[in-house]
Structure formats: C-alpha cells, structure tokens
Structure 1
C-alpha cells in the first residue's frame, strides 16, 4: 500500500507579526496602567462606611528597621477608625495608625502586639489635620505628631518589620489583605500620604506640608503613587483650605 501523502502548512508570517504586535501593545498598556501616578493636589474620598471599599498602596520595600508615615485627613467620625494599615504575612498589624473614639487618642501598633496610645487633645472633627507617626528599631521608640506638634516618645519594640507588605487606606486589616470591619472603616478624605524607611527629624516633620518643598517618601510618595482603588472610593481634586474671594 502506497504511503499517504501529507500536506504541511507553512506558518503565516503575516499572522505571526500581527500576534507579536498585539502582544507588545498589550504589554505596553499593562505597563502604562501600572505606572505610578502623580496625585499632587488630589485627595481620596471615602464616602460611606463599608467592609469592602479601600485603596491598596504598592511598594517593593519589604524590610523596615524604622518607619515614618505622614498623611492628611478630614473626617467627622467620632468612632474608632483606621488611618493607615500595613500588614505582612506574620502580622495583621505590622504598622497601624488608628484613631480611637472621639479623637482624644491615636493608637499606633508596631508588629502586632506592640501597641501604644498617644493623647492628642487638639484633634477636632471636620478639620484637615496633618498626622505623622514614627518608630525606630534601634531605640524601640515611637512618636506621633499632630499638626506639627509632638506627643511624648514611647517604647514599642526592638526588631525589624519583615515580609511582603499589604498597605491599605480606608480599612483596618484583621488578616493579611482582608477581614475588614465596617465599624472601623474610614469615612472622609485622605491626602498627601508619604512613607519613609527611616525616622524623619523634628524639622522635617514640621516641614511636611503639601504647600512647601519637602523630601517625599522613599517608600510611598503621593507624587508618584502605585495604587489601586477597590469599591466606591473617589479620587478628586483636593479641597482648598482657604477662603474664596469674590
């Protein structure tokens, strides 16, 4: 029996070129979409209490021997709420800034069990506030600054914070990246979030002001932020803190 003849189809070079162009375009769009954004002059508005709505902040930093976080917030909440939540695989509260009750105390947690309350009697609702929190592994000390005024320095712990971070605005993480509680959610506006892997000097903290020149965060930089919004969080122009003139 004579062998059957088989026809071999040559690859279509034209089709392959189109596939390659499409693939390259897809990669370029993905890279552009993931590029950090300049949020100067903008704010994030969290309009309602939920256990879902939040913003993820991305960074490649995964080891912290010291931390400074500064942000601006505006809210009318008189209940507990999270202002900044960083978790890692070994601790849901690797670095947490948490407003207690009616705003007379701010709780900072470093490495899950090391938590300290700071008295901040100057805090008022429906007012923009500048808040910075610091911690240093060498001394184990941390501090809170509200509107450029320091609290007493207090001891947290020695030892670095290590592990891939999950950084969330608008919610408090009770597990790595999740288990949010609407009763602890943030409602209001957040802006000018910066994070450093070292402790800023008192002069640098007092100079933290979006209207002034200051060294932006080397971990999180509001002027070049890699982030993702989840749920009903609105990115909009920042409200000016001055009177209008007609």
Structure 2
C-alpha cells in the first residue's frame, strides 16, 4: 500500500511538472513528512478513485458486508420468535398455577377440565405429555445454541441463551412438581374410590340382610295381621313404630289387643305426636293413676283395667264435636264423657309410637312411662265405630282392619330389642281363658 501511494505521488508530480513546463509556469512543490511507526498509511479514497476503478476485492468485501447484514436480520427474527415462545410458555405456566391455586387443598380433582392448555385430561397421559413438552424445550435450546455456533461474529447474545436456560430449568422444576401432584391426586382418587366402593358394598349387604330377615318374618306368619309386638322390659329404647301417619281427622276409633301384668301401671300402649304437640293422642296408665286418654294434651280418665296378665280387647272412640269419647273393654262399653279437646281437629303428619310416650316427635322417651307386655291388632279409623262392630271384633266373630292405620307386618317396625312374633290372637285368647 505504501508503494502504491509513492507511485501515485510520483505520477502526479511528473504530470504536474510537464504541465508547468509546457505552460511556462512554476512547478508544484512536495514536502516529505515523517510518519510514526504503526500509523495508517492507506491512501484516501479520493486518491484511489483517481488512480483506478473498483477492484474485485472491493466487490467481494461489499458482498460479504451485505451477507452479514442479512444474517443479523435473520438473527433478530430468531430472537423475536424465541421471545414469543417464552411468553407462550409463561402464559401456560401462569394458567396452570392459577388453576392449582383455585382448587387449593381439594382432595378429589375433576379430570374432565383441561388445566394446562393443550395437556390431556387423564393423569397418565398428562405425565407423558409433560415429558414430551420438556424434551421439546430442550431440543429448541440445543438448536438455538447450534445456530449461535454456526453464526459468525457472535450475533446471538449470551444473555438470551442464559435466560432461556434459566427459564427451561424453572419450567422443568415446575413441571416435575406438577407431575408429582398429579401422581398424588391419582393415588388419592384411587383410595377414595376404593373406600366408597367398600361403603357401598357394606350398605348393600346390610340391606340384603334386612330383606332376608323381613322375608323370614313374613314366611313365619300365616297372614300379614297374625303377629304381635313384644316389649318385655321397662326401658326408654324398646319400642315399635307405625310407618304410616295420620291425615287430619275430626273423629277417630283406635282398637288393639293388650296383654300386660306390669305394676304399677302398664305404661303407654301408644302415642301420636305432631310438630308443636307431642301429646296429640296418648293412651297411658302411669304409676297408680287410672288409664288416661290425652287429646291435644287434654286428659280424660278411663275406667279400664288390663293388668291381669291376660289378653284384653281395648277400643277408644272420640269426636271433635263436644269432645265426646267412649271406652270399651272386651266388647263392652265401660265409660263415656265429653269436653275432651272439643272442636279440635287431629293434626296430620305426625308419628305413631308403640310402647313409649313421646316428649318430642318420635323420641325422648321416659322409661317410667314405657309399656311392658305384648300388643297386637293395632287398628285406627277416621270415624266412630258402632258398638256392634266393636263387640264383633272383641268376640273374634269379625275382623275389620283400620281404614287409616291397618295392622299388617309391613307397616310395623321394631327397635331396641322389641320383637315381632307369630300370633293367632283368638286362639291364644281362648287358651288364656
């Protein structure tokens, strides 16, 4: 390059001298100046352009510069694309974390909901898809690093590579945590399903045993009404329950067979309680008091005596008009009265209990008021029966099931050790006689 510059100067001086000589003018002077070692000795572009036209080397350099510029643009596009991928991954991760927080500590999860964007619904498929996602992210990072290695001039920034590595590490850690959570949820769901299946099987077995017991009890009775309920102890947990309730009534007749030798007093053969009035209808013989009939917690004393240990047929009638009542024992009317809760309708929707007096509807029994003995053919009508009909039932010459509450095996439940047993009441009564 120094030789080229000197030659150019020489040519320029020669040309100038000739021009000066020809014209008679004075020639130009050239002053040589010392140049420090290492200084740029290249000729100015203008001087070079004066000497020769564009060389092939310059054209090659220009093409190289253009290629480098295109490479820079491509690298910028790649960086923008990778930043978009990172934003997409962050968005999916945010949705996953928000879904995990919204479901909190719930033990059972709804796998029908898509909780991670494009992840599958089943826990096993979710685990496999998470693994594929992590591998895809690793492949992307390796491609970016390979692209950087093949690009001249170091156009791919180290900061972006480090950022991608950190994000990939974070995502891998979070995905592994999510996989562990899904595995735990899957295990919990399996345990809960097993426990629920076991509870269901136990319930079904209990029902089957109960059905078997009912079938055996039904097969033991010659007819649905030929049975008795036994309440052998004075407790607050032995009792029977009528499954049917009562409608609203303005009169009733209730009849039953009783056998008891309890002292003092046989207790409470039956009680009917409704919300707000536990003593809607009660028949009770408590302590040394005579037998009493309660209607809407109003009391009438009955001239009945059944504590001799034999079977007795008892019937009680009542009508809301003037509160008139009648008491029958073994087909004979022994007493009447009036002004027992007059003009009061019997309320519907209550509970009929055999053997216990109710302090609240269906419960809170008092052992001192419990019936001790046996009871059968409890029937109830929503009208006052004729004396001839009552006498016929007491003499075993006719049987009339109650139109409101009939005495049938399927209609009576027993609890606390009370039992049901076969009984042909008329034959047993004749044997007692």
TM score, norm. by length of structure 2: 0.47
Q: Determine if the alignment matches structure 1 residue 241 to structure 2 residue 429.
A: yes
Structure 2 residue runs of 5 or longer lacking an equivalent are 1-84, 89-116, 123-199
Could you say which residue in structure 2 is the equivalent of 1:12?
A: none
State the superposition RMSD in angstroms.
Answer: 3.1
What are the Cα deviations for residues 121-152 of structure 1, in whole angstroms up to 9, with x where unaligned? x5441110000111111232011111111123
Could you say which residue in structure 2 is the equivalent of 1:41?
A: 226
SS at match of 1:94: strand
Change (3 A) 1:223 1:5: closer
- Work out which of the two has the higher radius of gyration on C-alpha atoms and give 1 or 2: 2
Alignment partner of 1:149 out of 332, 336, 344: 332
The within-5 A match list for 1:1-246 is 4=118, 6=120, 39-80=224-265, 81-101=267-287, 105-112=290-297, 114-120=298-304, 123-155=306-338, 156=340, 157-209=342-394, 211-223=396-408, 225-238=410-423, 240-243=428-431
What are the Cα deviations for residues 134-176 of structure 1, in whole angstroms up to 9, with x where unaligned? 1111232011111111123211122201142111011111222
Contact 1:208 1:214 in 2 (8 A): yes
Shift of 1:49: 1.0
SS at match of 1:183: helix
SS at match of 1:198: coil
SS at match of 1:52: coil
Structure with greater proportional helix content: 2
SS at match of 2:406: coil
- What is the aligned length? 223
Shift of 1:214: 2.8
Contact 1:57 1:225 in 2 (8 A): no
C-alpha distance in structure 2 between counterparts of 1:243 and 1:141, whole Å: 36
C-alpha distance in structure 1 between counterparts of 2:300 and 2:119, whole Å: 82
What are the Cα deviations for residues 25-75 of structure 1, in whole angstroms up to 9, with x where unaligned? x8xx79x9699x764221111111101111111224331211111011111
Change (3 A) 1:226 1:243: closer
**Deviating more after overlay: 224-233 vs 63-72:** 224-233
Q: Which has the higher contact order (CA 8 A, sep 6+)?
A: 1
Structure 1 residue runs of 5 or longer lacking an equivalent are 9-21
C-alpha distance in structure 2 between counterparts of 1:64 and 1:71, whole Å: 19
SS at match of 1:218: coil
Contact 1:47 1:232 in 2 (8 A): no
Change (3 A) 1:224 1:64: farther
Change (3 A) 1:139 1:184: same
Could you say which residue in structure 2 is the equivalent of 1:15?
A: none
Contact 2:262 2:307 in 1 (8 A): no
Structure with greater proportional strand content: 1
C-alpha distance in structure 2 between counterparts of 1:136 and 1:235, whole Å: 32
TM score, norm. by length of structure 1: 0.79
